[in-house]
Amino acid sequence: MVQAFEQKTPETERAHEANGEDRWIPSACSMCYGTCSILAHRVNGVVTKIEGNPASEIGKGRLCAKGISGIMTLYDPNRVNVPLRRTNPKKGVGVDPGWKEITWDEALDEIAARLRKVRAEDPRKLFLQRTTTNTTIGPICHAFCHAFGTMNQWVAGGGLHCGNGAHLISGIMHASWSIVPDFEHCQYAVYFGASKGHAAGHASCSNMGLAADARVRGMKMVVVDPMCNFAAAKANEWVPIRVGTDAALALAMAHVLVNELGIWDAPYLASKTNAPYLIGPDKLYVRDAETQEPLVWDATAGRARPYNAEKLGQEPLGELALEGEYEAQGVRCRPAFACLKEHLARHTPEWAEPITTIPAATIRRLGQEFGREARVGSTIVIDGVRLPYRPVAAIAFRGSEGHRNAVYNFLAIDLLNHLVGAADVVGGCLGFNPVCHGHPETKRPAYVPYAGPDGLMVTGSWMVPHLPYPFEYPRMPKSMGFNELFPLGMSSPLMASADQEERWQRFDLPYRPEVMINIGCNSVMSVGNSETVINTLLRIPFIVSFDLFRTELSDLADIVLPDMSYLEQLDSKPNYPFIFNLPGGMGDWCWAVRQPLIEPVAERRQMNQVLLELAERVGISEDINMALNALLKLQPPFTLKGSQQYSFAEVCDQHLKSNFGPRHDLAWFKEHGVLSWPKKPQEVYWRPFVEVRVPIYWEYLKRVGDQARALAEPRGLHLPEEFYDPLPTWLPCPGHECSDEQFDLYGFYYRDTIHTNSLTQENAWLDETAQLDPNSYYIAMNAETGKKKGLHDGDWVWMETVKGRRVRGRVHLTQGMHPEGLGIGGCAGHWTDGMPVARGKGVFFNQLLEIDMDHASPVNLNLDLCVKVRLRRCEEA
């Protein structure tokens, strides 16, 4: 085994002093998952400053306040520094665990013994949860779980709160994890509950620079959001919307485009989507009897033919019908686009006005502006290549999709892009780098989307082994989260829900979790109300938690292990797997690494190394090597071999050499930080060059729904049919259906720019910054609404739900809030003494959220994040 890092000894300390060391070292930030490239100033072994690395596209030399403040987490005196063993067997909130310091060997012996036992009984008894924020840990956690034999893994809160809808649909429609406007060329961007380029999120700092330049250039920004927050404050227009009604607005805008203005990109729809596929009376594709391929109407030939006739050896297709009614295979049928057009006719601006509270005239104007600015049919030359030019983009993320209707909310918004052909072309809505032809020397990493079943697009690269399409059809669940029943979902609330045990019993789940490994995640606060989560955790007999600080979750653990912060860690792939954080648009490809900036402190260890060691102790080294070969796409001669033991540093070295050749090994990357090469227009604006289609009509959703319901309904799990229709509509959240007039406001949370969820709440500089901010630790409320309720700025209130859950906070009255909205930043309100800086600060919004299947999307399991509340004035906390 190779020792990953140099040990801190009196000799090395003296050497540093003698050398008078003064270096800038390249690495990668992880104060959020943006992974901006950084340069850290190290003087005599101490990190004194962090700046952005201008040599990198990831961050483009910029850092946000969180990135600069990482030093305070690195040197926080409250860090966990040694393994701790609980001595008090009783667990619960306020119960002293009776921590006792133990050695790493003692800790690993006990953990390995537990793991060997459950693996022998049933490996699915292992449950692993990890934070989304540290991107370094994803592949190793997947590899460990696959090797061990458990599918029970999740990013508690992440996914449920943000990604289930956004990533799924971005994957299916744009072959990427997320979407952004092509900032360099876009003229008109509409943001629906998204802050890309204005606050936190993927490629955050790079996008902030690009968005600022775009605004200066004249790109018009319209931001649809209940709160005039980070994006809206910089926009040309803020459109306040009732919480959770974005699909209604987007569908009405689409109606204006298609049915009032007659604007759509017919060549794009005919060749790049399933718009011409014929739909029968059963809402399914009409298929060729012989080949089972979906049929289209060849208007030139005057008959139905397979969409891929030429590939089947037939003569090329003529002009494909997008409208009309035909007969094929003995049934009356219409092209999918005709079905969509008729469906949209019901979604007029007048229909949307009472749902969204946005005047019909405003909705109509937005639709008209979007259609006019799309310039359907125009082209532009980029680097000598003529390309379609559609300078409009409709962008969505957590705000619009964090609802029970997550799938349709996101899909309805993205339909705007596809109707006008503004998908992955110049000026339009771009996925994050879904086509890469690789480094010029090695042609790696390389990936291109390709056509899967029914000609629909399969992503060329993805974050997890579970592709967004093609998905498995529903099966009887065997996992804790019932992922098999919800193939369009990722994170599942059943991992920590109130109805967990009842559902497991009804579906005869043959095991229960016995060992939990928690990695840097505080699920007590990150999922929903803490009481529900704690109840699920108390049922797990043995919990081991890797932590920087003792959190509310680690207080329930049996063993706490001292993790390294990102400034102490090594990683060959902070931006894994390349579709995550590199900004969209032209510029450079850029591969960056993370490296330790100081020598190891106390007993802290990087969890990646610890998991490899645990794999060895459990006897699954060969399995984890194989899983890493697959996940990291290692190629000979750089594959991990048999049951050979590798240090994490060796895995990183193999990974880098596999991608970039032996010259670009770990040592090279540690010295240079990043490897860059130029992007090509065919990579960035790939849509015209890649023969794939995307679904504007989600035919398979109906098939999935039918099969899921057939399995779920007999066991008492109701999956409403209206969520599985092939065409999107607006469906209400439980909060919209609340009829008790006392509960007259919609509480929601937003991603603060000062804090990253609960992760950074202990950081002293960020806490100080948040205390100066008018919103961070407050409940933002419409000033007029507050006045009507007799509230004044700074008043203390209880925020209460129909279910009787409540949190206390101070109101900040502002004009920048929808009259019915109450906005809360991040995930504050800690109570553990392990985080003394964070303790008692801000509002714990998630405490108000129910965690059960009734409050989750019945399609992709996204948790409903808006909650109907009332306010009551109270005394100071």
Partner 1 sequence: MKLFGILGLQMGERSVALQLAEGARLRDLFEVLGEHFGAKFGEAIFRQPGVLQTYVRIFLDDVPVDDLDTPLTASLPPHLDVGTISHDGEGTHAADRASAKPRGEEQARVGLMVMSAVEGG
Instruction: Please report whether residue 29 would count as binding ligand SF4 according to CB under 6 A.
Output: yes
Smallest separation (angstroms) from partner 1 to the CB of 444: 6
Given 158, 705, 842, 858, the residue binding partner 1 (CB under 8 A): 158
Question: What is the residue type of 123?
Answer: P
CA distances from 35 to 53, 571, 839 (A): 11, 11, 27
Q: Report d(CA 753, CA 769) in Å as an integer.
A: 11
Size of the site for ligand SF4 (CB under 6 A): 13
Window of 163-171, 264-272, 590-598, 798-806 that interacts with partner 1 by CB under 8 A: 163-171
Do residues 727 and 343 make contact, with C-beta atoms less than 8 angstroms apart? yes
Q: For the purposes of burial, counting CB atoms within 10 Å of the CB of 545, is it exposed (0-12), middle (13-18) or buried (19 or more)? A: buried
Choices 158-166, 179-187, 250-258, 781-789 (CB under 8 A): range interacting with partner 1: 158-166
Residue 472 within binding range of partner 1, rule CB under 8 A: yes
Q: Does 520 bind partner 1 (CB under 8 A)?
A: no
Please, what is the minimum distance in Å from the beta carbon of residue 131 to ligand SF4?
14
Tell me how far, at minimum, the Cβ of 642 lies from ligand SF4, in Å: 37
Which segment (156-164, 765-773, 810-818, 863-871) binds partner 1 by CB under 8 A?
A: 156-164
> Quick one: 194 or 436, whose CB is closer to partner 1?
436
CA dist 764 and 176 (Å) reads 36
Tell me if 124 contacts partner 1 by CB under 8 A: yes
Among ligand SF4, partner 1, none, the one that 492 touches (CB under a kind-dependent 5 to 8 A) is: partner 1
Considering only residues 246 through 265, tell me which ones interact with partner 1, judged by CB under 8 A: none
Number of residues that bind partner 1 (CB under 8 A): 75
Strands 821-825 and 745-750: parallel
Q: Could you tell which of partner 1, ligand SF4, none binds residue 158, using a CB distance below 5 to 8 A set by kind? A: partner 1
Report d(CA 391, CA 216) in Å as an integer: 16
What are the percentages of helix, strand and coil residues in the chain, rounded to 5? 30, 20, 50
Binding site partner of 66, from ligand SF4, partner 1, none, Cβ cut-off 5-8 A by kind: ligand SF4
CA distance 758 to 771: 16
CA 298 – CA 113 distance, rounded (Å): 65
Q: Which of 39, 94, 89, 82 is nearest to 63 (CA)?
A: 39
Spatial separation of the C-alpha atoms in residues 27 and 30, rounded to whole Å: 10
For residue 89, the minimal CB distance to ligand SF4 (Å) is 39
CB of 281 to ligand SF4, least distance (A): 51
Return all residues near 37 (Cβ < 8 A) that are at least 6 apart.
Answer: 26, 27, 28, 29, 52, 53, 55, 56, 58, 59, 590, 592, 673, 674
Strand 37-43 to 745-750 pairing: unpaired
Residue numbers 707-746 binding partner 1 by CB under 8 A: none
Instruction: Kindly state the smallest distance separating residue 573's Cβ from partner 1, in Å.
Output: 15
User: Could you say which of 411, 448, 556, 719 contacts partner 1 (CB under 8 A)?
Assistant: 448
Q: Which of 56, 170, 204, 659 binds partner 1 (CB under 8 A)?
A: 659
Q: Is the dihedral of CA 656, 660, 664, 669 positive or negative?
A: negative
- The DSSP code sequence of 322-371 is SSS-EEETTEEEEEHHHHHHHHHTT--HHHHHHHH---HHHHHHHHHHHH
Q: Exactly one of 492, 523, 530, 581 binds partner 1 (CB under 8 A); which one?
A: 492
- Nearer to partner 1 (CB atom), residue 357 or residue 442: 442
Q: What is residue 845's DSSP assignment?
A: G
Please report whether residue 487 would count as binding ligand SF4 according to CB under 6 A: no
Stretch that binds ligand SF4, among 24-32, 232-240, 704-712, 795-803 (CB under 6 A): 24-32
3-class secondary structure per residue, 109-176 = HHHHHHHHHHHHHCHHHEEEEECCCCHHHHHHHHHHHHHHCCCCEECCCCCCCCHHHHHHHHHHHHCC
What's the maximum distance between 2 C-alpha atoms anywhere in the chain? 88
Mark residues 757-796: x for contact with partner 1 by CB under 8 A, - for none: ----------------------------------------
> Can you spell out the DSSP letters for 691-717?
--BB-SS-HHHHHHHHHHHHHHGGGT-
Among 78, 362, 442, 729, binds partner 1 (CB under 8 A): 442
74 belongs to the binding site for ligand SF4 (CB under 6 A): no
Question: Binding to partner 1 by residue 623, rule CB under 8 A?
Answer: yes
CA distances from 629 to 142, 564, 595, 642, 655 (A): 12, 25, 22, 11, 9
Instruction: Give the interface segment with ligand SF4, choosing from 25-33, 330-338, 769-777, 798-806 (CB under 6 A).
Output: 25-33
Q: Which of 484, 511, 489, 499 is nearest to 536 (CA)?
A: 499
d(CA 236, CA 335): 38
823 lies in the site for partner 1, by CB under 8 A:
no
Question: 863 in helix, strand or coil?
Answer: strand
**Does 64 participate in binding ligand SF4 (rule CB under 6 A)?**
yes
Q: Which of 155, 169, 387, 537 binds partner 1 (CB under 8 A)?
A: 155
- The yes or no reply on residue 162 touching ligand SF4 (CB under 6 A) is no
Q: Which pair of structure tokens corresponds to residue 37? A: 């490239």
The beta strand positions in 542-696, using DSSP E, are: 542-547, 559-562, 588-592, 674-678
Mark residues 6-45: x for contact with partner 1 by CB under 8 A, - for none: ----------------------------------------
Judged by CB under 8 A, the stretch of 250-258, 298-306, 489-497, 720-728 that binds partner 1 is 489-497
Taking CB under 8 A as the rule, does residue 470 contact partner 1? yes
The answer to whether the peptide bond before residue 306 is cis (omega within 30 degrees of 0) is no
- What three-state secondary structure class fits 592? strand
Residue 29 interacts, among ligand SF4, partner 1, none and using kind-specific CB cut-offs from 5 to 8 Å, with ligand SF4
Sole binder of ligand SF4 in the list 63, 243, 254, 413 (CB under 6 A): 63
Choose the one of ligand SF4, partner 1, none that binds residue 63, judging by a C-beta under 5 to 8 angstroms depending on kind. Answer: ligand SF4
Binding test (CB under 8 A) with partner 1, winner from 629, 753, 763, 847: 629
Q: Tell me which DSSP letter residue 775 carries.
A: S
* Residues that bind ligand SF4 in the complex, under the rule CB under 6 A: 29, 31-32, 34-36, 59, 63-64, 66-67, 204-205
